[in-house]
Amino acid sequence: MHGEINQGILALIGIEKPDNVEQADALVQKILSYRIFSDADGKMNLSLKNIGGGLMLVSQFTLAADTNKGLRPSFSSAMPPDEAAQLFQYTVDAATKDYPQVVSGVFAADMKIELLNNGPVTFLLEN
Instruction: Work out whether the CA dihedral 103, 104, 106, 112 comes out positive or negative.
Output: positive
- Taking phi over 0 as left and psi of -120 to 50 as alpha, with beta for the rest, 52 belongs to left
d(CA 96, CA 119): 27
Torsion of CA 54, 12, 126, 23, to 10 degrees: 80
Q: Which of 60, 86, 89, 101 is catalytic?
A: 60
60 is catalytic: yes
Q: Catalytic residue, from 7, 23, 37, 61: name it.
A: 61
- Based on the residue annotation, tell me whether 62 is a catalytic residue of this protein: yes
Rg (CA), the chain: 15
Q: Active-site residue among 62, 67, 122, 123?
A: 62
- Beta-bridge partner residues of 8: 54
Q: Which residues are catalytic?
A: 60-62
